[in-house]
Amino acid sequence: MLMSSHASKTAWWLPEIPKSALMRRRMLWAYVFVSAPIFALLVFLLGPILFSGWVSLHRWDMLSPVSDMPWRGLSNYSYLLTKDPVFLKSLGNTFLFAIGGVGANTVLGLGFALLLNSRIRGRTIWRVLYFMPVITAPLALAVMFSFIFNRNYGVVNNVITAFGLPRQPFLSGPSQALMTLVFIAIYQYVGYYIVIFLAGLQGIPQDYYDAAQVDGAGKWQEFRFITLPLLRPVMLFVVVTNTIGALQVFDLVFATTGGAPANSSMTVVLHMYNTAFKFSRMGRASAMAFILFAIIMLITIAQVRLLRDRTYQD
């Protein structure tokens, strides 16, 4: 009971509103407030999604009128899944990028948060500093790390060779490009997740730990039976939003490797972008978008099922 009252405060659920006479009198106004955002949502999200689904069943170069698009049925989908090696390669790369980035950021974020979990001086300052990579345009980060990891005069290679080790290609090496991108993604978000996890940890009442200590629980047991269960909503937030973002990685790859060398760092959204805006194959690109959407949807649902707080459901 105690557990659930804490968990209920931290959630994706809608807060209750007391049904007083005053509130009921104002009820109709709600539609006035909600109508503009809902209108925007329908026009700029739902409409485009449906349109995109329709286009994915056609062949379209964007120049001919929409009414003249030749119908192709599901052939765009079957082409992508059976005959487009670049798409399959990009799908694999995107998964690796997401698994590496989300895994590392969750573990490192939670790990550092646990180590830092207490009142520390200058909290405001270092919290803001930890956010710096998050607020930097991915394009600027791309320039930064293309320079830092440059094969010939990047500072990392200069340090490596100073120790007598061979130069590494990093972003320009087929076997290293994707891993280097994962590293940049970790750099981009790890501070942000440390701060998020820390806030989650500080929301857990100290009483639970005190009670556990009275009962003779060890550190591991405290982590396993108090910290982890109560962090579930935060964990869910971190894993779900990070995964959705990672599966759509674009800017960073576009501006560092462009998918090269030999498509070893090609990602789904970059391939979609090229297919649509370089090669004007709107139907095929839309099909890619829908395949990725289906994948993201399935993964998100699985994550929510696995991580949601079972003590509190609506």
Partner 1 sequence: MNEGKRGRAVRYLLVILVMFFIIAPFYWIYSSSLKVSTEIVAQSPTLFPESITFGHYANLLSSSDYPIYLTNSAIVSFATMVITVVLSTSAAYGLYRLPFPGRKTIYRLILLAYIFPGSLLLIPLYVMLSRLNLLDTQLALVIINVTFAAPFSVWLLKAFFASIPFELEEAASLDGASWLQTLLLVVLPLASPGVASVAIFAFITSWTEYMFASVLIISDANRTLPVGLAGIIGQYVIDWGLLLAGAGATTLPIILLFVLIGRFFVNGLLEGGVKA
- In the window 136-175, what residues touch partner 1 (CB under 8 A)? 136-140, 142-145, 147-148, 152-153, 155, 158, 162
Among 110, 178, 182, 194, binds partner 1 (CB under 8 A): 194
Quote the tokens at residue 151: 């094969």
User: Which DSSP state fits 261?
Assistant: S
Question: Least Å distance between CB 139 and partner 1?
Answer: 5
Side-chain half-sphere CA neighbours of 9 within 13 A = 11
Instruction: Give residues with Cβ within 8 angstroms of 245, minimum separation 6.
Output: none
Q: How many residues bind partner 1 (CB under 8 A)?
A: 103
Binding part of the chain for partner 1, among 68-76, 168-176, 219-227, 249-257 by CB under 8 A, reads 249-257
Listed residue (243, 219, 225) closest to 106, CA to CA: 243
Which is nearer to partner 1, 131 or 225 (by Cβ)?
A: 131
Question: Least Å distance between CB 99 and partner 1?
Answer: 17
Distance (Å, rounded) from C-alpha 98 to C-alpha 242?
8
Instruction: Tell me: does residue 260 bind partner 1 (CB under 8 A).
Output: no
Instruction: Tell me: does residue 230 bind partner 1 (CB under 8 A).
Output: no
Question: How far does CA 59 lie from the centroid of its chain?
Answer: 31
Distance (Å, rounded) from C-alpha 5 to C-alpha 113?
24
Quote the tokens at residue 279: 């090669």
Instruction: Tell me: does residue 80 bind partner 1 (CB under 8 A).
Output: no
Binding part of the chain for partner 1, among 98-106, 208-216, 220-228, 233-241 by CB under 8 A, reads 233-241
Identify the sign of the CA torsion 226, 230, 232, 238.
negative
Among 77, 79, 95, 130, binds partner 1 (CB under 8 A): 130
Which is nearer to partner 1, 17 or 175 (by Cβ)?
A: 17
Listed residue (184, 183, 182, 187) closest to 130, CA to CA: 187
Residues numbered 86 to 115 that lie near partner 1 (CB under 8 A) are 112, 115
Quote the tokens at residue 88: 């399959």
Which is nearer to partner 1, 1 or 14 (by Cβ)?
A: 14
Which is nearer to partner 1, 144 or 260 (by Cβ)?
A: 144
Instruction: Tell me: does residue 220 bind partner 1 (CB under 8 A).
Output: no
Rounded to 10°, the helix 177-202/138-148 angle is: 120
Which is nearer to partner 1, 225 or 277 (by Cβ)?
A: 277
Distance (Å, rounded) from C-alpha 159 to C-alpha 69?
56
Which is nearer to partner 1, 99 or 128 (by Cβ)?
A: 128
Among 255, 260, 261, 264, binds partner 1 (CB under 8 A): 255
Any idea how long the chain is? 314
Quote the tokens at residue 173: 């090496």
Among 98, 269, 307, 309, binds partner 1 (CB under 8 A): 269
Largest CA distance in the chain: 78
Binding part of the chain for partner 1, among 80-88, 99-107, 219-227, 250-258 by CB under 8 A, reads 250-258
Evaluate the omega torsion of the peptide bond into residue 229 and state whether it is cis, within 30 degrees of 0.
no
Question: Least Å distance between CB 283 and partner 1?
Answer: 10
Distance (Å, rounded) from C-alpha 212 to C-alpha 129?
35
Which is nearer to partner 1, 180 or 286 (by Cβ)?
A: 286
